[in-house]
Amino acid sequence: MPAATGGDPASPRTGVLVVPHGVPPECPRPLRLGVLASGQGSNFEALVQCSRHGALRAEVVGLVVNTPHCKALARAERLGVAATVMDHHHYSSRKALDHALVEHFRDLQVDVLVMAGWMRIVSPVLCQAYDQRLVNIHPSLLPAFRGLNAMERALAAGVCITGCTAHLVVPEVDAGPILVQAAVPAYPDDTLATLAPRIHAQEHRILPVAVAMAGQRLFERP
């Protein structure tokens, strides 16, 4: 993968600077992936498609959503991926939900767990159970614009470049070690409706690379 790529020169607004840390590593065996989602599920689908088309040596073995009628669930059904609803309202605390998630994904023998639009703050319970193998995707160039509404806040700040980050998860929100980032131009007349698809397109590229990197580290561990 190149260190930097431009988009279609005839259409500069689709152009991006991609800054991966290198070629996505190949894991010794297919990774078993668990995915957490709360909304649209486009990153979940990107992981499934990359796995099925050979761009990522992995299989998505389960999706958990916390919002009962989200679009990610419909995608899972269409794609034939087992999906489970764990509505956070039915758990007494963040830790209680995270304990249930750990049990669920342990049963599925998940190697790497991916927060693909999981709009819940996770507790140390999940971080410790999936230490170094819990990956999050965030729609900004971290450490800028941590937290909610990152794209809206980047636009309000008038940035010229924003992007997305895939990183390992630690208990502090949007603060873990960065695995891969992609830079995306922001234009003065951009709105959320024009910027968001540009960022999503790059998320779908970097998340599989980040997952492969996390998986590789798993096999490198003593």
Q: Which residues are catalytic?
A: 138
Q: What is the DSSP letter of 158?
A: T
Q: Is 176 in the site for ligand GAR (CB under 6 A)?
A: no
Residue type, 67: T
Strands (E), the chain: 17-19, 31-37, 58-65, 83-85, 112-115, 134-138, 161-168, 178-185
Separation between Cα atoms, residue 173 and residue 73, nearest integer Å: 25
Q: Is 190 in the site for ligand GAR (CB under 6 A)?
A: no
Q: Which of 34, 139, 185, 215 binds ligand GAR (CB under 6 A)?
A: 139
Q: How far is the CB of 151 from ligand GAR (least distance, A)?
A: 8
Q: Which of 35, 116, 127, 134 binds ligand GAR (CB under 6 A)?
A: 116
135: how many CB neighbours lie within 10 A of its CB?
26
97: how many CB neighbours lie within 10 A of its CB?
23
Which residue lies nearest ligand GAR, judged by its C-beta? 117
Q: How far is the CB of 37 from ligand GAR (least distance, A)?
A: 6
Looking at the Cβ atoms of 109 and 119, the one nearer to ligand GAR is 119
Which residue bears the tokens 């499934």? 48
Site for ligand GAR in 40-99 (CB under 6 A): 40-43
Q: Is 184 in the site for ligand GAR (CB under 6 A)?
A: no
